[in-house]
Amino acid sequence: MKKNLLAIAVGAAVAMPGLALADGPKVYGKVNVSLEQMSYDPSPAAPNNDDEWELQSNASRLGVKGDFDLDVGNLKAIYKAEFEISVDDGDKGGQTFSQRNIYGGLQGGFGTLMAGKFDTPTKKAQGDVDQFNDLDGDIKNILAGENRASNIIQYSTPKLADMITLNAAFIPNEDSDDFDGDGENENGLADSTSISLVLEKDMFFGAISRDMDIEDDLAADAQTGFGTLDITRVAAGVAPGNLELGALYQIAEESEGDGEDSSYVLSAAFKIDRVKLKAQYGMTEADTNDEELTQYSLGADYKLAKASKAYVYFSNLEADIADSEEQTIGVGMEHKF
């Protein structure tokens, strides 16, 4: 019933633009669909094949967001409800709509306060370093920290000196997990935290972040603790003219164990008229089991309109000790609205 009501509400807003004026909610979204040929080495267990064709939906989404003035202290209410939609088969793990970033909050001269389920400051700290976000070349394949947390409360300062923002988030565990293995579930106000300092000025972007006791898994190393990590991430990007350069370095270690991953990602893009050429390389090295993950991707986007593009890309993911390799060749299109 809730799914039907959501579909009706979004459909009505799209059909009647008068419901989505500047002072009301804005309906937005993205359709990103690609046809991909994927190959695996070693071959998966029978009856699966070592290569296949797939139509991918690539985190296509539909959402409603907005704000309105309150009658107290020049405050503004902010809200967002964003859901992933599956363009390929209409099924996202048995659901039509899968929750993405959803929150409510307040905004004013003091900054922004919001609560709900949304990307952590550490995930947002990557900026635009990931040139293959949502595709098979996504950096989430080789490093931890790409988390969208539930029950998260975040405060963000106004932009200081017109370029610096501090984001501080905490997550109560709600008595549902035993992070430290002491036999009792954590039940505090800030059992997990995520903090970032972001600098944005003209063509430059830089960020440093720190997660503590965040629920996540190491990408390469063996994990012996109780399922939480401490993550330090540093990222920077510069975009002079038609050139884009990005770099990210990260250390992820178990909060209550010995496992540790060290990762880096380098990316570049260059625009030539309607064409954007892209390249990306990333590596994660494990501390205790000596596993090494490498991923490289190449691609080209062709701009069809301001909010639309067609693209082609190639991505390769390898694990050294596991002696495995996955390759993807894809062609697709993305339309934002």
Indicate if the pLDDT at residue 194 is higher than 90.
yes
Indicate if the pLDDT at residue 132 is higher than 90.
yes
Mean pLDDT (the chain) is 92
Residue 23 binned pLDDT confidence (cut-offs 50, 70, 90): low
Looking at domain 2-336, what is its CATH homologous superfamily?
A: Porin (2.40.160.10)
Tell me the pTM: 0.90
Indicate if the pLDDT at residue 20 is higher than 70.
no
Query: What average pLDDT score do residues 67-83 get?
Result: 95
Residue 93 binned pLDDT confidence (cut-offs 50, 70, 90): confident
Q: How high is the pLDDT of residue 13?
A: 47
DSSP 321: T
pLDDT tens digits, one per residue of 222-275: 988 888 999 999 999 999 999 999 999 999 999 999 999 999 999 999 999 999
Q: Where are the alpha helices (DSSP H) in the chain?
A: 2-15, 121-124
pLDDT tens digits, one per residue of 280-323: 999 999 999 999 999 999 999 999 999 999 999 999 999 999 99
Distance separating alpha carbons of residues 328 and 100, to the nearest angstrom = 25
Distance separating alpha carbons of residues 295 and 299, to the nearest angstrom = 14
Residue 129 binned pLDDT confidence (cut-offs 50, 70, 90): very high
Query: What average pLDDT score do residues 85-99 get?
Result: 86
According to the 3-state scheme, what is the secondary structure of 68-108?
A: EECCCCCCEEEEEEEEEECCCCCCECCECEEEEEEEEEEEE
Indicate if the pLDDT at residue 16 is higher than 80.
no
